[in-house]
Structure 1
Amino acid sequence: MAAEREKPMPDAEVNAWLQKNLPKWRLEDGWIRRTYKTSGWKGTLMVINTVGHLAEVAWHHPDITASYAWVEVRLMTHTAKGITDKDLELAKKIEDVVHWQPGKEEGALEGTPHGDQRFAYIKYD
């Protein structure tokens, strides 16, 4: 029995959801997109690997473009030919993990040292 195809959400609904939940993401050319700025190639690879791991576990695969100090993530449900809940949920998980800063939370995990470029990772917005 074939799974029912997901129906794409209207652009206005996607834009409203993004504005409320993920204001750094945008809807453009049928994709939701986010560019993460990094501190260099090491950080870029770490973001790519993080996104790849989350996408594979979710069984939903983004398009990724990268350069030395940035990564662009694009999500769309190909079978629906548009944006669905799958895209929004994966975008939220990516955002939560990539922007996690344990040093700003209570607990044993202190986060990377501040001010030392050897440990620079992502440029948090």
Structure 2
Amino acid sequence: MSAEREKAMSEADVKAWLEANLPAWKLEDGWIRRTYKTASWKGTLMVVNTVGHLAEAAWHHPDITASYAWVEVRLVTHSAKGITSKDLELAKKIEDVVHWQPGKEGKGLEGTPHNDQRFAYIKYD
């Protein structure tokens, strides 16, 4: 926990950063947000738990809304009353982990089967 209060970024800077680095994330109503579509409740819980783990490890906690086949993640730095580098860094880590597809890396891990709905997880965009 830093003793110095972080400064919120300008709306233009946040939008430019998101466009360059996380185009699926949007700045809306003072929050950066992203909705992940999942294949089922199982996938929804896996996304929520993943985001929860990353947020706790980072000590920066998002708002999360979950339904059967989607999860919305919203980030803001309340103490700065706006978006800071904390929000952007956590959003990037969430995106990297949730969208990780080991089968596309061509290494030892194959990833979940794409042709069998019993193993469906997230709907990758």
TM over 0.5: yes
Q: Secondary structure at the match of 1:79?
A: helix
**Which residue of structure 2 lines up, in the alignment, with residue 92 of structure 1?**
92
Deviations 1:66-120 (A, max 9, x none): 1000000000001101000000000000000000000001211000011100000
Q: Which amino acid aligns with 1:35?
A: T
Structure 2 gaps, min length 5: none
Q: Pairwise CA RMSD of aligned residues?
A: 0.7
Letter in 2 for 1:15: K
Determine the structure 2 residue equivalent to 1:68.
Answer: 68
Stretches of structure 1 that go unaligned for 5 or more consecutive residues are: none
Matches within 5 A, 1:30-49: 30-49=30-49
Q: How many residues align?
A: 124
Alignment partner of 2:35: what SS? Answer: strand
The 2-side partners of 1:33 and 1:52 are apart by: 15
What's the % identity of the aligned pairs?
A: 83
SS at structure 2 position matched to 1:3: coil
Measure the CA separation in 2 of the matches of 1:53 and 1:117: 26
**TM-score with structure 2 setting the length:** 0.98
Give the aligned partner of residue 103 of structure 1.
103
Q: Which runs of 4+ in 1 moved over 4 A?
A: none
- CA–CA distance in structure 2, aligned partners of residues 114 and 18 of structure 1: 29
